[in-house]
Structure 1
Amino acid sequence: MPQLTTTAEPYTIVKSQIAAVRAFNRFYTRIIGTLREGLLNSEYSLSEARVLYELANRPESTAREIARDLELDAGYLSRILRKFESGGLLGRKASVEDGRQSILKLTRQGKAVFSELDQRSNDEAEQLLRSLSAKQLVEFLHGMRSIENALEAKPSRAPYILRQHRAGDMGWVVHRHGVIYTQELGWTPDFEAVVARIVADFIDNFDPKRERCWIAERDGEIVGSIFLVKHPEEKDTAKLRLLLVEASARGLGLGKTLVDECTHFGRAAGYKKITLWTHDVLAAARHIYSQAGYKLVEEEPRHSFGVDVISETWDLTL
């Protein structure tokens, strides 16, 4: 159990509130299947699967560390580890720093078993989320984060979610591009006008089978966007446009995720290439494009949006 902080203001807990917590616990354990004999239709219990997860996601670990972090009884953990060893999932070696401790590492077979469980867990979570509407998905993820923040002594940073565009989003895209590019780069309103024309064309000619806008939200606030649209002249080419990440959401890997979503969608839509237009001063975006496999194919010095820049074209072969 997490360590709960106490409030400075006393209050009374009534029976109906206790009953509500217990009812939620019963509901949620049924939904995620923790009462099944084997988690995710496997031979492993929830505790065993959690230990497997820790072993797979640590470079090295000891039984003492796992017992401490998962708050497991040492004897119970020892029985789980013996089961893994006898099944060929786990290996041990003596610790160089402390000969009384063993370093635990999954074997190749253990990694394969974990990989299968991990994929089943991802599939089950995706199936659950796909049963929700876009509005329900936002509320669901925010609700989980609210519960976690309320019970954790040190809340972790909220995650972001991606969704397709809806009414009002295009206004946000134009507004935030105008504000951010003026504040951070000193660009003139000409750039905001370009963005407005791009989003107007997107809405007027939207083809849901071959085009997509992703909007990123965090704590109920929009923090990013990206578009993938048809190239007006090349049938098998898509254009990546209007990648934007708010300063409050930078460092979370959101930019990379947005670009990756474009790549996956582009392949699924049958495009052979994605192209994009950017400028040399956008170092963070250029790094993301390079890491995603885009190649710089053309550059041209020009005076745009009130400043001297180098305009660049980058291509990704799918």
Structure 2
Amino acid sequence: MALSEQIVDEIRIHSRKMVRELGFTGRGFAGTDLSPSSVHALLEIEKGDVAARDIGDALHMDKSSVSRMLRKLIDAGWVYEDSGEKDHRVKRLSLTSAGKTQVGQINHFARQQVQTAIERLTPEQRHIVSNGLRLYGEALAQTHTPAAISIQSGYRPGVMARITELHALFYARTAGFGQAFESVVAGGLAEFGYRLGNPKNAIWTAIQDGQIIGSIAIDGEDMGSGKAHLRWFIVNVSARGSGVGKQLLDTALAFVDAQSFTETHLWTFSGLEAARHLYESRSFSLAEERPGSQWGSKVLEQRFVRPAKPEGR
């Protein structure tokens, strides 16, 4: 059944009124001089066993914004960081004594605010409000759940343009590459597209909400001598950390092993540490380094090689 515009607009009006009455639009939120995000961060940390990443997930904030906010809370003496017992690389967040006092004041203020309002309602109305808010909150949370990512093989309309765009945007930001780089990527993909009929060649894309967010290809022809060339491996920034890069690489390497290539080669640039770690975890090793400037800025090009997978493994 289609939703009426009237009910949608009514919910929007009521939501705006709640935001204003609860103090989200002004200063002095929850009886403090903190921003709403800082107040919510303190309430999340109160639960215990929380890391910065958890705060970002809960508040739908990017990593840099969370880092700046937490630094202010730490400097104010309300929060402290400590190495986790299971993973010392992950800092766990806790409230200091002053932080617990501040959160206690926040909770007292909020309870009084809610109590003053719902005292004006009948017991039945209070349950209606509680259940309605719960259902609405759960429905809103579902809109933030990322759509599933699927790995698909072969050509699809727009694949060449989208992979070119992903490369151009990423390397313009990280390495200062411009038109020359984008043209080479586009030209290489166009030429490779004509050779996808060869069973030694393959391309895969990661799809989310109908959009290409990553890609990888194996060119089994251009290097000759039974060598596989891993090309156009890219993951959009929005999908970093989702594991899709590992999925793409493992899919491509499974194809390489099935085709019995003697080696797999790839070219990349120095400084992409996360990518290098992923390559090395899949048995690639650095075979060659050389400076290059043909892309518009100076970089240290690197060639990684993975030997054929031993039989029986």
Q: TM-score, normalised by structure 2?
A: 0.51
Task: Give the total of aligned pairs.
Answer: 173
1:171 to 136, 161, 164: 161
Distance (whole Å) between structure 2 residues aligned to residue 183 and residue 152 of structure 1? 32
2:197 to 197, 207, 210: 207
Equivalent residue letter for 2:285: K
Indicate if the aligned counterparts of 2:218 and 2:228 stay in contact, CA closer than 8 A.
yes
Equivalent residue letter for 1:183: R
Distance (whole Å) between structure 1 residues aligned to residue 223 and residue 174 of structure 2? 33
State the match for 1:230 in structure 2: 220
2:148 to 152, 159, 184: 159
State the match for 2:249 in structure 1: 259
Secondary structure of the equivalent of 2:291?
strand
| 1:195 partnered with 2:185 | yes
State the match for 2:277 in structure 1: 287
1:181 to 171, 175, 178: 171
Structure 2 unaligned spans of 5+: 1-5, 9-137, 309-313
Structure 1 unaligned spans of 5+: 1-7, 11-148
1:152 positional shift: 7.1
2:258 to 242, 262, 268: 268
State the match for 2:238 in structure 1: 248
Distance (whole Å) between structure 1 residues aligned to residue 195 and residue 282 of structure 2? 28
* Aligned counterparts, 1:278-317, within 5 A: 278-317=268-307
* Aligned counterparts, 1:16-31, within 5 A: none
Indicate if the aligned counterparts of 1:281 and 1:309 stay in contact, CA closer than 8 A.
no
Identity rate of aligned residues, in percent?
31
Indicate if the aligned counterparts of 2:263 and 2:306 stay in contact, CA closer than 8 A.
yes
Distance 1:179 1:154, change over 3 A: closer
Distance 1:266 1:156, change over 3 A: same
Q: TM-score, normalised by structure 1?
A: 0.50
